[in-house]
Amino acid sequence: MLVIDKPAGIAVHQGPRGGLNLEDLLDGLRFGLPRRPALAHRLDRDTSGCLVLGRHHKATEKLGLLFKQGKISKTYWAVVEGGPETDAGLIDLPLGRLDAERGWWMKVDVAGQPSQTRFTVLGRAEGLTLLALEPLTGRTHQLRVHCASQGFPILGDPIYGSGTASAPRLHLHARSIVVPLYKNKGPIAVEAPAPAHMAAALAAFDGV
C-alpha cells in the first residue's frame, strides 16, 4: 500500500476531455515492482489529501474490499460558508444523479442511494466554519452535496456552492485515513497537511 498526498486540481482518472491525470503518473511510484500501483479509491479533481494505492493486484483487491465493507475510516476537513447550528451531527440523505447529461453531478433524491455523513465543528470564524467530515458511505460528491443541502456549502465549490472561476479553490481536504491492513497489527493511520490554497481560511480558526 502507498498513501499519497494528492494535490487539488488533478483528476485521478482520464476524463472524456483528456488532459493530465494521476493514473498517467503512477509508473513513477513502482519502486522496483514490475507494475505500477493502482487506485484503491478516488478523490474529486479539486479535492486534495490522502489517496490510497495498492502496490499490486492482491493488495488493491484487499483494499477495495476494506473500503466496500466500511472498515477504512476517512476524515475530511472542509471550510464551509455559514455552518450548522449544532457542533456535531449526522446528515442522512439519499443521493442520486442530478440528470443524465450532468455526468457526476448529484442531488438529494428520495429514490437515490443511502448516504450518511458525520460532521464535527472544529472552529467558527467570520461567517465560516471548519468541519471534520466523516463519510459513512462513499457516494460521488457526497460531502459537497450533503453540506450544500444543509445550507452550508463548501467554500469555493463551483457546482453546489457559490464558487466561480475567480473564487478560491474548493476548500475540501482528505485530512486523514485509517487502514486496518494487517490482522495482528494496529491500523495504519496517515495524515496529509492542509494544502496552501486553504491556509488563509484555516488561519482564522484558532488551534488548527
Per-residue pLDDT of the chain (208 residues; tens, 9 = 90+): 999 999 999 999 887 677 889 999 999 999 999 999 999 999 999 999 999 999 999 999 999 999 999 999 999 999 999 999 999 999 999 999 877 665 678 899 999 999 999 999 999 998 999 999 999 999 999 999 999 999 999 999 989 988 765 557 999 999 999 999 998 999 999 999 999 999 999 999 976 7
pTM of this prediction exceeds 0.85: yes
Residues paired with 50 in a beta bridge:
5
Q: What is the pLDDT of residue 156?
A: 93
The answer to whether the beta carbons of residues 118 and 133 sit under 8 Å apart is yes
E strand or H helix that includes residue 201: helix 199-202
Tell me how long the chain is: 208
Q: What is the pLDDT of residue 26?
A: 95
Q: What is the pLDDT of residue 164?
A: 62
CB count, 10 Å around CB of 159?
Answer: 19
The yes-or-no answer on residue 99 being catalytic is no
For residues 179 and 176, what is the distance between their CA atoms, to the nearest angstrom? 10
Q: What is the pLDDT of residue 196?
A: 95
Q: What is the pLDDT of residue 11?
A: 93
Which residue bears the cell 484487499?
62
Cβ-proximal residues to 188 (8 Å cutoff; 6+ apart), any chain: 1, 3, 178, 179, 180, 181
Using DSSP's 3-state secondary structure scheme, residue 27 falls into: helix
On the CB side of 198, CA atoms within 13 Å amount to: 30
Alpha-carbon Rg for the chain, nearest whole angstrom, is 17
The answer to whether the beta carbons of residues 87 and 33 sit under 8 Å apart is no
Q: What is the sign of the dihedral through the CA atoms of 50, 103, 16 and 36?
A: positive
Q: What is the pLDDT of residue 14?
A: 81
Q: What is the dihedral of CA 133, 134, 137, 140, to 10 degrees?
A: 30
For residues 6 and 12, what is the distance between their CA atoms, to the nearest angstrom? 9
Q: What is the dihedral of CA 143, 145, 149, 155, to 10 degrees?
A: 70
CA–CA distances in Å: residue 73 to residues 49, 76, 120, 124, 154: 14, 10, 15, 25, 21
User: Which of the residues 44, 46, 99, 157 is marked catalytic?
Assistant: 44
